[in-house]
Amino acid sequence: MTHRDRYLETLLFGTPDRVPFEPGAPRESTLKAWHAQGLERQHLEVIHEAVERERGARGLAPVACLPREPMTDYGVSFQMLPKFEEKVLEHRDGHYVVQDWMGAITEIADTYDYTYIRSPRDFVTRKWHRFPVQTRADWEERIKWRFDPKDAGRFPADFAERCARLRERDFPLVLHFNGPFWQLREFCGLEGLCRLLLEQPDFVREMASFWADFVSETMQPILAAAAPDMLHFSEDMCFKAHPMLSPDMTMDLCGPGYRQWIGQARAAGVRLFGLDSDGDIGLLLPVWIACGINCVDPLEVAAGNDIRAYRAAFGRRVSFLGGIDKRAIAAGGAVLREELARVQPVVDEGGYIPSCDHGVPPDISWRNFQDYALQLAQMTGWLA
């Protein structure tokens, strides 16, 4: 089987020869710590070589854990164009106050710089002072016009060539973009969005509908040229103990967009529809499933997510990615073995790619990560 075959067969409850081997992704500070602890090369190369050595020691034939071809993507942007100018507004008390590329006024420790706001390169705490949409006039004048699906800058010059290569891929192709809650939170901030939901719900629905239509129109050439294996929505709409919105409000705000995108992509042959949210997702899982979402991640254990309870409640209606407690990986030894034994029944049932339940933090030592990876390889069939 190819890596793509395994991914699809696993998450669609098929019959893969092995479960994809995906131990998790370290952040910048984690890699810095690992280099200090003896890592000298790219961490996945070392991990995969260790799996191959162990296979050889067991008399097993060599097998590639990764795709044959380099993984690539569409190069299409769902972000605002043009972006706001990134600039430092103030430097005080060990912090920068900046205008970020989304138009928000954000504070970040001067250990970093404002480029850390663009992507999750590390575990960086930020503080937001103001968001670009406070009023309907802000929406019309500052934001809406930046999301033109026909903007030539959204698609790379080599889009056709990329898609030709992607049609021959042996790796799973996932198309990521922000869900309605995530995107409107970037416009308004969490408090601002919640206030608008109570005071101006029609305005919020208007923004959500605009976002759904923008994504659909931007996505359509992609679906026509080389449909992905999964649509994946970024939401992060739960705290540690409960969601940020009630199930009813989630259905009202997000449900129309989810159904629109899923129906559009399903017509193009897409079969997996994933959603990422940190925190305790238990109350929102039924809402997402009702809208057509059939895969969720990362299932943070510290937030109370119990993958076995979810499987008992929802059966084959939803598959999972993640779900291994990062704290157990950090502890190692018997604690890790107990954690892997906890999720083993769900691995055996299918519909689950086990992995660290978020970005791999620096309190997981390089040695413990290697031990965990070899045990994960055993669990997923690479060393069986």
- Percent of the chain surpassing pLDDT 70: 98
Check pLDDT > 70 for residue 166.
yes
Give me the amino acid identity at 170: D
The arithmetic mean of pLDDT across residues 255-274, rounded, is: 98
pLDDT digits (tens, 9 = 90+) for 326-347: 999 999 999 999 999 999 999 9
The residue to which tokens 């696993």 are assigned: 10
pLDDT at position 67, please?
A: 65
Higher pLDDT: 306 or 64? It is 306
Please name the residue ranges forming H helices in 227-272: 247-267
Cα 254 to the center of its chain, rounded Å: 17
**DSSP, res 364:** S
Report pLDDT digits (tens) over 169-205. Answer: 999 999 999 999 999 999 999 999 999 999 999 999 9
Beta strands 295-297 and 174-178: pairing type?
unpaired
- Model confidence at 65: pLDDT above 90: no
Residue 35 pLDDT class (50, 70, 90 cuts):
very high
Amino acid (one-letter) located at 264:
Q
For residue 81 the two structure tokens come to: 């164009």
**Band of residue 71 on the pLDDT scale cut at 50, 70, 90:** confident
Give the whole-angstrom CA distance, residue 257 versus residue 180.
7
Domain boundaries, the chain: 3-79+132-379, 85-131
Report how far residue 324's alpha carbon sits from residue 129's, in angstroms, rounded to the nearest whole number.
Answer: 35
pTM for this model (two decimals): 0.96
Residues 6+ apart with CB under 8 A from 239: 279, 280, 303
Polymer length in residues for the chain:
384
302 has pLDDT over 80 = yes
Residue 26: is the preceding peptide bond cis (ω within 30°)? no
Distance, CA of 274 to CA of 260 (rounded, Å): 14
At residue 113, the pLDDT reads 87
In angstroms, rounded to a whole number, what is the distance separating the alpha carbons of residues 8 and 284? 24
Distance between start and end Cα atoms, the chain: 16
For residue 70, pLDDT beyond 90: no
- Kindly give, in sequence order, each residue whose CB lies less than 8 Å from that of residue 35, ignoring residues fewer than 6 positions away: none
Question: What are 99's strand-pairing partners?
Answer: 87, 105
Q: Provide mean pLDDT across the span 240-268.
A: 97
Cα–Cα distance measured from residue 3 to residue 7, given in angstroms and rounded to the nearest whole number: 6
Q: How confident is the model at residue 238 (pLDDT cuts 50, 70, 90)?
A: very high
Position 68 scores a pLDDT of 65
Average pLDDT for the chain: 96
Stretch 268-295: mean pLDDT: 98
Query: Percent of the chain, pLDDT > 90?
Result: 93
Residues 6+ apart with CB under 8 A from 139: 133, 187, 203, 207
pLDDT tier at 117, thresholds 50, 70, 90:
confident
More reliable by pLDDT, 310 or 68: 310
DSSP string, 188-225: H-HHHHHHHHHH-HHHHHHHHHHHHHHHHHHHHHHHHH
pLDDT of residue 104: 97
Spell out the residues 6+ positions from residue 345 whose beta carbon is closer than 8 angstroms to its own.
308
Instruction: Place 244 in a pLDDT band, splitting at 50, 70 and 90.
Output: very high
For residue 236 the two structure tokens come to 């992060």
Give the architecture (CATH level 2) of 3-79+132-379: Alpha-Beta Barrel (3.20)
Cα distance between residue 176 and residue 192, in whole Å: 25
Confidence of residue 72 (pLDDT cuts 50, 70, 90): confident
Mean pLDDT, rounded, for 315-330: 98
- Would you say the C-alpha torsion 139, 142, 145, 147 has a positive or negative sign? negative
Backbone angles phi, psi at 89, to 5 degrees: -90, -30
What are the tens digits of pLDDT across the range 99-111?
Answer: 999 999 999 999 9
Quick one: pLDDT at residue 69? 65
